[in-house]
Amino acid sequence: MTKTVTGMLDSHPAPTVLDRDALVECITACIECAQACTACADACLSEEMVAELRRCIRTDLDCADVCGATGRVLSRRTSHDAALVRSVLRACAQACRTCGDECESHAEMHEHCRVCAEACRRCEQACNRLLELVG
């Protein structure tokens, strides 16, 4: 995935305003986290104790949506809007923190929650690193 993200950014005719490596890391983390959260929500729905996992499912789906949108916004180089980028990065970091905390609380019982929590932590960190560079 990183190869595709890098190739698309490098082939874009508009200049990359943000640090390229941090941008690639963040876009990749967002896409991977969106996938992990979607899969975790689906796995939670298949668990016997689905009623106890309602909050986890909700935070998974919210995080997947926010991460997906963030990855798409960050992929757009034309007419860069720094204020919008800062806003989506903050929202994504918060969604990942919330989802990561929730999934972590189920991680000992459900492997899919452990994997998802790790993806959320990576994405949160990548968003915060890029946010520091955007200023």
pLDDT value of position 31: 97
Poorest-pLDDT segment among 6-15, 18-27, 54-63, 112-121: 6-15
Q: Quick one: pLDDT band at residue 26, thresholds 50, 70, 90?
A: very high
- Residues 58-83 have pLDDT tens digits of 999 999 999 999 999 999 988 888 99
Q: pTM of the full predicted structure?
A: 0.93
Domains of the chain: 2-10+18-134 (1.20.1270.360)
CA atoms 92, 125, 1, 22: torsion sign: positive
| Mean pLDDT value across residues 5-34 | 87
pLDDT tens-place string over residues 33-50? 999 999 999 999 999 999
| pLDDT value for 126 | 98
CB atoms within 10 A of CB 97: 17
Whether the predicted pLDDT of 89 surpasses 80: yes
> For helices 20-46 and 111-134, what crossing angle results, to 10°?
150
CA gap 62, 101 in Å, rounded:
14
Q: What is the pLDDT of residue 134?
A: 85
Mean pLDDT computed over every residue of the chain: 93
- The Cα 103–Cα 57 span in angstroms is 9
pLDDT at 11 over 80: no
The 3-state DSSP class for residue 79 equals coil
Provide the 8-state DSSP code for 107. Answer: T
Terminal C-alpha separation, the chain: 27
